[in-house]
Amino acid sequence: MSSLFPDPLIISELRKSFGERHAVNGVSFSVGASEFVALLGPNGAGKSTLFQMLSGLFVPDSGTASVTGFDIGKEPIAALARLGIVFQQPALDLDLTVEANLRFQTDLHGIPRSEARQRITYWLQRFGLTERAAEPCRQLSGGTRRKVELARALLSQPQLLLMDEATVGIDPASRNAILNDVKTLCREQAMGVLWATHLVDEAEAADRIIVMAEGTVRFTGTPKELIKLDGHKNLTEAFLHLTRKEARA
Amino acid sequence: MKLMHGWLALQAITGREVHKFVRQPGRLASSLVRPLLWMVVFAAGFRQMPDLGNVIPFDPNLDYRLYMVPGLAMMVCLFNGMQSSLAMVYDREMGVMRLLLTAPLPRDYLLACKLASGAFLSLLQALAYMAIVVVWGIGLSPWQVLISLPILLAGALMISAFGLVLSVYIRQLENFAGTMNFVIFPMFFLSSALYPIQRMHDAGAEWIYRVAMFNPFTHAVEAMLGVVIVSTIVFYMIAAAGYDPQRGLVKNARGG
């Protein structure tokens, strides 16, 4: 933790309960620079609660999470400045144009206007959105909206990118495109990526898979290791086995 | 937080609200039609009824429509404030609120930006309304509008802040009718917007009078009424002095 270049994300013994229910029950792991980590878990595994804590929206009951060494609870502003988030729920202002949505973000991050213009131009071009820059987001398809949200998250040059079930409700082609884009960017920008999903095929491409169920981490390792575990034939089988309720015992 | 960062964020938040407002001409229209309906239609019959005369400091010849101006200007702010608070609820439902809350800025500052943007829009609308009244020519002067500006702003901020509090507790978007019934109307009627609250006291409606005295909206209206009255007196004295051939401005002007 005290190294010169701390990992983009270090989570230690994070806990959050809602009444009697332990949504996140002592989770610890880290995400390194240029590492693409898939957080795989069924619905209700606690992924979203975990993400809410990582983005500072929920306060954990105990434990810590730090982004490039900045504790999200103690130094939220420094941590948030290094964090890019694509939320599970779309968070675009549909009445604003693509460009205005992006500029809203650069303003919120305090990126000077001239610098912001360059970055916006760059990312629009990169995602093939240049021609749609002046269109209100309402006119865009679900997949394109997601691309805009991804571009928006990258504007502040984050060191950690959180993707919270970012491909829900998007057709397979767009889903693949976004997954590949993020994988490429992960290497190229040397940023850590935490990709939450309940879809096993999305996790296949990851450097590391963290399987979460009922608020706890069930497995950490490469996709290959996950398949080898207990001699399963494929990821899906291994995943289903791990997250079955009986697997607790 | 760096100053420039704060400024950019304030611009972004306010700019977004203004942009939205500009795209909805109906909203401006309705914010202007509402007070003008009160002034034209309601006051048409009602202006004979309230006796403003013997409540200090009102001029017995004060035009009732002029009396209504501060209350209605504040009502414009009240409607906008409530609309801003519903816009917060909308932002929360649409996820934009998450974007705001995950911006690398202190949460209090972001809230203050929201407050400022709501008050700014209120101010624009109230000024547009007052400009119409000035042009109408029932005796409101541009100077009075200008002088009342700080109080109008203070009132708009107060109402916006109240709206922010409400936005925490309003869970659904469909609640504008409820807001009208339980917030806007009580605040407006339990104040001196339509007649001096002294009248409630005189009429023996003691508890209504007390509630009205407790209502911050009353004090916003009173403060503006105060400005209207005081500035009327000040202008009158300047004018009177100007017309005094012994030592007035008119003589000086002539002398110079």
**B62-76: per-residue pLDDT in tens?**
788 888 888 999 999
Contacts of A112 in chain B (CB under 8 A): 4, 8
**3-state SS of chain B: helix, strand, coil percent to 5?**
80, 0, 20
- Do residue A108 and residue B99 have CB atoms under 8 angstroms apart? yes
Of A108, A75, A77, whose CA–CA distance to A93 is shortest?
A108
Listed range (B27-36, B88-97, B246-255) with the worst mean pLDDT = B246-255
Q: What is the pLDDT of residue B249?
A: 46
Q: What is the mean pLDDT of residues B178-201?
A: 82
B195 has a pLDDT exceeding 50: yes
**Stronger pLDDT, B230 or A35, i.e. the higher one:** A35
Greatest Cα pair distance, chain A, in angstroms, is 58
Q: What is the pLDDT of residue B255?
A: 42
Do the beta carbons of residue B209 and residue B200 sit within 8 Å?
Answer: yes
Which residue of B20, B99, B103 is in closest CB contact with A95?
Answer: B20
Do the beta carbons of residue A100 and residue A146 sit within 8 Å?
Answer: no
> pLDDT per residue over A174-183, tens digit each?
889 999 999 9
Percent of chain B whose predicted confidence (pLDDT) is above 90: 19
CB pairs under 8 A between A and B: 76
Contacts of A57 in chain B (CB under 8 A): 98, 101-102
Shortest Cα distance, chain A CAs vs residue B21, angstroms:
11
Q: What is the mean pLDDT of residues A139-147?
A: 92
Query: Which of A51-65, B169-183, B198-212 holds the top average pLDDT?
Result: A51-65
| Backbone phi, psi, residue A241, to 5° | -65, -45
Q: What is the pLDDT of residue B124?
A: 92
- Do residue B104 and residue A113 have CB atoms under 8 angstroms apart? no
> Which residue of B lies nearest to A92 if distances are taken between CA atoms?
B96
Q: What is the pLDDT of residue B15?
A: 92
**Stronger pLDDT, A235 or A13, i.e. the higher one:** A13
Q: What is the mean pLDDT of residues A194-199?
A: 92
Chain B interface with A: residues with Cβ < 8 Å: 1-2, 4-6, 8-9, 11-12, 16, 19-20, 23, 94-96, 98-106
Which residue of A56, A87, A110 is in closest CB contact with B5?
Answer: A110
B165 has a pLDDT exceeding 50: yes
* Cis peptide, bond prior to residue B57, ω within 30 of zero: yes
- Do residue B98 and residue A78 have CB atoms under 8 angstroms apart? no
Triad B108, B114, B117: Cα angle to 5°:
140
Percent of chain A whose predicted confidence (pLDDT) is above 70: 97
Shortest Cα distance, chain A CAs vs residue B176, angstroms:
21
First to last CA, chain B: 55
Q: What is the mean pLDDT of residues A85-109?
A: 93
- Do residue B99 and residue A91 have CB atoms under 8 angstroms apart? yes
> pLDDT per residue over B211-250, tens digit each?
888 888 888 888 887 776 676 666 666 666 655 555 544 4
Q: pLDDT band at residue B46, thresholds of 50, 70 and 90?
A: confident
Q: pLDDT band at residue A243, thresholds of 50, 70 and 90?
A: confident
CA atoms of A210 and A203, how far apart (whole Å): 9
A3 has a pLDDT exceeding 70: no
The 3-state DSSP class for residue B19 equals helix
> Which of A107, A109, A152, A164 best tests the B interface by mutation, with the highest count of B CBs <10 A?
A107
B256 has a pLDDT exceeding 50: no
> Which residue of A lies nearest to B23 if distances are taken between CA atoms?
A95
**Stronger pLDDT, B251 or A55, i.e. the higher one:** A55
Q: What is the pLDDT of residue A101?
A: 95
Do the beta carbons of residue B69 and residue B133 sit within 8 Å?
Answer: yes
Of A178, A180, A144, A185, whose CA–CA distance to A164 is shortest?
A178
A17 has a pLDDT exceeding 70: yes
Q: What is the pLDDT of residue A249?
A: 43
* Sign of the alpha-carbon torsion through A233, A236, A239, A240: negative
- Do residue B11 and residue A107 have CB atoms under 8 angstroms apart? yes
Which residue of A80, A100, A103 is in closest CB contact with B104?
Answer: A80
Listed range (A194-198, B90-94, B105-109, B252-256) with the worst mean pLDDT = B252-256
What global pTM score does this model have?
0.83
**Stronger pLDDT, B58 or A236, i.e. the higher one:** A236
> Which of B88, B90, B94, B99 best tests the A interface by mutation, with the highest count of A CBs <10 A?
B99
- Do residue A108 and residue B94 have CB atoms under 8 angstroms apart? no
Q: Which residues of B212-233 are buried (b: 16+ CB within 10 A; e: fewer)?
A: bbebebbbbbbbbbebbbebbe
Tokens (6 digits) for A210: 């963290």
Shortest Cα distance, chain B CAs vs residue A68, angstroms:
15
Share the mean pLDDT of chain B. 81
B34 has a pLDDT exceeding 50: yes
Strands A62-67 and A70-71: antiparallel
**3-state SS of chain A: helix, strand, coil percent to 5?**
40, 25, 35
- Do residue A89 and residue B5 have CB atoms under 8 angstroms apart? no
- Do residue A113 and residue B100 have CB atoms under 8 angstroms apart? no
CA atoms of A205 and A220, how far apart (whole Å): 15
- Provide ipTM, 2 decimals: 0.86
